[in-house]
């Protein structure tokens, strides 16, 4: 099973809402990633978890809060977002400790109104 | 400075033509990894190839081939006999010890359109 699943597929939220994005993988990977992708741009790394610990935070605003409850799950909690946060949010996983290929989920298309 | 450059923003080819996507990278590390990913209109990035800096052998996988040349810091990707299903955005990417192997730096991407 080489699938990374993400829910929801689409999300519309107001600037005062709190919502969460979810990501799951069952490949036994110990590294998981959140990326943000704007239209016609490459993915931008937001966070990396390695062995369930946050290893990289790319200076992401605190209105984005990641969580890794276990080795298969990755959440991204959203609060007080801005319209410019509207984007495709991609989750990925890979083996840890070295630069292995990442397997991506289909993404969550987020619109902030 | 951009670490991964893909000079071709958009390419259009007619079906069955061959097409080469260029990638030039910049790093001071001696150990690094290079990748190609495909992003079709559906949005999901698909891994195509991973190459480490010590392995300069070219690789062929079906209609896909990759030419890695350390002397010119290039890792080019050729699709032979292109098909409509090859239409996608293709990203070249780099990871290096200097910034952490977990951090993959994507190039700006090349949008390929294959016209029937």
Mean pLDDT by 10 residues, chain B (116 residues): 89 97 94 94 92 87 94 96 97 84 90 97
Partner-chain contact B45 A92, CB within 8 Å: yes
Nearest to B33 among A42, A88, A99 (CB): A99
pLDDT tens by residue, B39-55? 999 889 999 999 999 88
- Average pLDDT along chain B: 92
Partner-chain contact B101 A56, CB within 8 Å: no
Predicted local distance difference test score (pLDDT) of residue A66: 98
Averaged pLDDT, A30-42: 95
**What tokens were used for B11?**
């390419």
Distance CA A103, CA A4 (A): 7
Predicted local distance difference test score (pLDDT) of residue B99: 66
Distance CA B33, CA B19 (A): 23
Q: How confident is the model at residue A104 (pLDDT cuts 50, 70, 90)?
A: very high
Distance CA B106, CA B4 (A): 7
- B70 φ, ψ to 5°? -65, -30
Nearest to A63 by CA among A2, A102, A18: A18
Pairing of strands A87-94, A31-37: antiparallel
Residues of chain B in contact with residue A45, where contact means CB-CB under 8 angstroms, are 103-104
Predicted local distance difference test score (pLDDT) of residue A2: 63
- Average pLDDT along chain A: 94
> Do residues A23 and A29 make contact, with C-beta atoms less than 8 angstroms apart?
no
pLDDT tens by residue, A52-71? 999 999 999 999 999 999 99
Predicted local distance difference test score (pLDDT) of residue B60: 87
pLDDT tens by residue, B23-36? 999 998 888 999 99
Nearest CA in chain A to B90: A42
Which strands make up the sheet holding A18-25, listed edge to edge? Answer: A4-7, A18-25, A73-79, A64-70
DSSP string, B33-75: EEEEEEE-TT---EEEEEEETT----EEETTEEEEEEGGGTEE
Partner-chain contact B102 A31, CB within 8 Å: yes
């Amino acid at each position: 099973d080489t699938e990374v699943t993400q829910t929801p597929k689409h999300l519309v939220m107001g600037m005062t809402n709190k919502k969460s994005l979810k990501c799951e993988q069952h490949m036994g990977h110990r590294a998981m990633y959140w990326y943000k992708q704007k239209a016609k741009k490459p993915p931008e790394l937001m966070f990396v978890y390695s062995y369930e610990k946050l290893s990289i935070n790319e200076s992401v605003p605190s209105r984005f809060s990641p969580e890794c409850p276990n080795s298969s799950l990755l959440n991204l909690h959203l609060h007080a977002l801005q319209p410019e946060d509207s984007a495709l949010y991609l989750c990925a996983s890979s083996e840890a400790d070295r630069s292995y290929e990442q397997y991506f989920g289909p993404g969550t298309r987020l619109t902030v109104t | 400075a951009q670490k991964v450059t893909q000079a071709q923003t958009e390419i259009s080819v007619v079906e069955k033509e061959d097409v080469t996507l260029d990638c030039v990278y910049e790093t001071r590390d001696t150990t690094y990894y290079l990748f190609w990913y495909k992003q079709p209109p559906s949005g999901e990035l698909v891994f195509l190839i991973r190459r480490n800096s010590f392995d300069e052998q070219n690789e062929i996988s079906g209609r896909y081939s990759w030419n890695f040349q350390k002397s010119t810091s290039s890792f080019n990707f050729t699709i032979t006999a292109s098909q409509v299903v090859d239409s996608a955005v293709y990203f070249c990417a780099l990871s290096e010890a200097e910034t952490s192997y977990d951090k993959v730096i994507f190039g700006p991407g090349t949008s390929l359109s294959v016209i029937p």
